[in-house]
Amino acid sequence: MYLNNIIEAIGNTPLVKLNSVAAGIPGTILAKVEYFNPGNSVKDRMAIRMVEDAEKAGLLKPGGTIIEGTSGNTGMGLALAAIAKGYKCIFVMSDKQSKEKQDILRAVGAQVVVCPVDVAPEDPRSYYSVAKRLSQETPNSFYPNQYDNLSNTAAHYEGTGPELWKQTEGTITHYACGVGTGGTICGTAKYLKEQNPNIVSIGLDTYGSVFKKYKETGIFDENEIYPYKTEGIGEDILPKNVDFDLIDLFIKVTDKDAAVMTRRLAKEEGLFVGWSCGSAVYGALEYAKENLKDGDTMVIVLPDHGTRYLGKIYNDDWMREQGWLE
């Protein structure tokens, strides 16, 4: 048996029990390890779905160019889809993203445009604005817009959700996931809650992002927005894929707590994962300590791989500069 191309390897990632970092917490804590996808991240799932839905709708035509604003992982998923299907790619990133992410995208044949991070989303220099402008200027191009493209949520409603239900044999009681575009948490939570409305979905957010306050008050507070270092979660906008009704609560995690937990996952669990994985595990375990009981099963999504962060959180000198190395 063989696969016809690399994108057929997407999905059916393993569930792995957390032992050391979850010691002493009641219930069973499981990690959904998404770096087993071929592009090493959960974003492979929605990238191929956005491309195939665009093909069906006639928005992406043979020989076309896919242009997207990405923090790196969605770009990788789109690049793999493009290779398999014969498209070109241009990805626009903020200068906050690690150099590894830029290099990886260039390695798979994409053109990478880097923009300043410390500008408002509507600023013409922001990576949102530049991606939009390039898609308008480039003939035969497609701008997936992962933030507002509901194929993102659909990929997880039809893929990740059913996988978790099957893998836990319907015993899942709590589901925790970092929130960026919102597709992973909302698509998965929608499916799980249809199977069992009592399943609690926990969104992990970061300081500097608007989600938690918006969920709790309905107010989009610009004072909540300030620069933070963690990559891949939190937003200064409200993407259409974030359905706040499907997220029961948000927990905010600091850059430092996320980075330290990410390194613990590598050292203590053998899970060489990315930065926002540390955010998800740290926040979920804080919740679990107070709320989980024996017999409960919590699943935490680990979105990506540690190779994206070798120059940052896995670099002792960089960690020392931040004051985060104990």
Per-residue pLDDT of the chain (326 residues; tens, 9 = 90+): 999 999 999 999 999 999 999 999 999 999 999 999 999 999 999 999 999 999 999 999 999 999 999 888 999 999 999 999 999 999 999 888 888 889 999 999 999 999 998 888 889 999 889 999 999 999 999 999 999 999 999 999 999 999 999 999 999 999 999 999 999 999 999 999 999 999 999 999 999 999 999 999 999 999 999 999 999 899 999 999 999 999 999 999 999 999 999 999 999 999 999 999 999 999 999 999 999 999 999 999 999 999 999 999 999 999 999 999 97
Whole-angstrom distance, CA of residue 324 vs CA of residue 326: 6
Whole-angstrom distance, CA of residue 228 vs CA of residue 300: 22
Q: What architecture (CATH level 2) is domain 43-142?
A: 3-Layer(aba) Sandwich (3.40)
Residue 100: predicted pLDDT? 85
Q: Are strands 28-33 and 15-17 parallel, antiparallel or unpaired?
A: antiparallel
Residue 293 is a catalytic residue: no
Give the angle subtended at the CA of 278 by the CAs of 276 and 282, to the nearest 5°.
120
Q: Where are the domains of the chain?
A: 6-36+152-322, 43-142
**Tokens describing residue 177:** 């996931």
Mention the CATH class of domain 6-36+152-322.
Answer: alpha beta
Whole-angstrom distance, CA of residue 284 vs CA of residue 239: 23
pTM of the model: 0.95
Please tell me which residue in 17, 32, 43, 213 is annotated as part of the active site.
43
**Tokens describing residue 120:** 């408002």
Per DSSP, the residues of 253-291 read E-HHHHHHHHHHHHHHH---B-HHHHHHHHHHHHHHHHH
The reply to whether domains 6-36+152-322 and 43-142 share a CATH topology is: yes
Residues with Cβ within 8 Å of 242's Cβ and at least 6 positions away in sequence, in order, are: 179, 181, 182, 186, 211, 235
